[in-house]
Amino acid sequence: MATFDGAIAAFAPTLPLAVAYSGGADSSALLTACARKWPGQVHAVHVHHGLQAAADGFEQHCIAACALLGVPLIVRRVDARHAPGQSPEDAARRIRYDTLALVLQQEWGGAVQDIAVAQHSDDQVETILLALSRGAGLPGLAAMPAHWERGGVHWHRPLLGVPGAAIRQWLANHGVLWTQDPTNADAAFTRNRIRARLLPALAETFPQFRETFARSAAHAAQAQDVLHEVALQDLALTGSPPEIRALQRLSRPRQANALRLWLRRDHDTIASAAQLDELLDQIAACTTRGHAIRIKVGAGLVERVGERLAARRSV
């Protein structure tokens, strides 16, 4: 596993840099180290979710800490309440990332294009275990990338190879104060139960589990990259939206692969395994002009329109 100092030394974003700053241990270490490495080139962004009474205290801590570091801070207050049927954690995560990207666009107009977030190797293991528990495919097992780009924003996770304990030791060694989110001890959240119960058991049984899990995630990410390339090639042949007869000339696994990319890329929706199986069955049975296809997929519908598939939001 990487050391904290080694990870920061290897981190080479384009400056100036924004850091997502919650006030917790991990983001406090990341912000402090980056501010010391690049004085005057680092900005902090704090997202106030408004989901708990302690949130105002987090904001005040971040304001005081950034004043001591000499780091400009932008605070954004959001409504991160989840919709019915949506995971509270997923809802908060989505609004947080959307807000961070929006701040970069609105506040700096493209002058700041790189932002760092503070997930570490324990977070990566938790993500893999959650993916396994849900029967996820390669995208889930690939877990979190160390770097990705979306909408002109370059996202970085420089601490992804560093254990959480090493980060807290660095904070103690350097006398950096941080806030403790009380929900981190709430066993109602699956990630907290993994952190409190499973990680110690894994460490006892498989001492190198962080390294081996990281390798497995890297293998899954590499395989997913290949599938993405194949899906792009197949969609170039079938068209987008896909032509049904062209889809039928592909093997069933390649049909599934192409349809996943089409739905995610063009319609921002993900089909469940059962929905995708039903859609593939209907495509296979679609041999006459009068054969209709109309299947619920994610938050919308996939249906036949002429000789092609079409997707739309449910009304």
Q: Where in the chain is the domain with CATH 3.40.50.620?
A: 4-211
pLDDT on residue 227? 96
> How large is the average pLDDT for residues 184-199?
85
State pLDDT tens for residues 240-263: 999 999 999 999 999 999 999 999
DSSP character at residue 243: B
Structure tokens at 223: 């395989």
Residue 223 pLDDT > 80, yes or no? yes
pLDDT band at 51 (very low <50, low <70, confident <90, very high): low
The pTM assigned to this predicted structure is 0.86
CA gap 299, 311 in Å, rounded? 10
Distance separating alpha carbons of residues 36 and 193, to the nearest angstrom: 34
Question: What is the Cα–Cα distance from 223 to 138, expressed in whole angstroms?
Answer: 7
pLDDT digits 0-9 by tens, 269-301: 888 899 999 999 999 999 998 899 999 988 789
pLDDT at 168 over 90: yes
**Is the predicted pLDDT of residue 55 greater than 80, yes or no?**
no
When pLDDT is cut at 50, 70 and 90, the band that residue 12 belongs to is very high
Percent of the chain with pLDDT over 90: 71
Between these two residues, 204 and 86, which has the higher pLDDT value? 204
Q: Which two tokens stand for residue 282?
A: 């209907």
Which CATH superfamily includes the segment(s) 4-211?
HUPs (3.40.50.620)
Residue type, 171: L
Return the C-alpha torsion angle 164, 98, 155, 38, nearest 10.
-80
Distance CA 27, CA 33 (A): 10
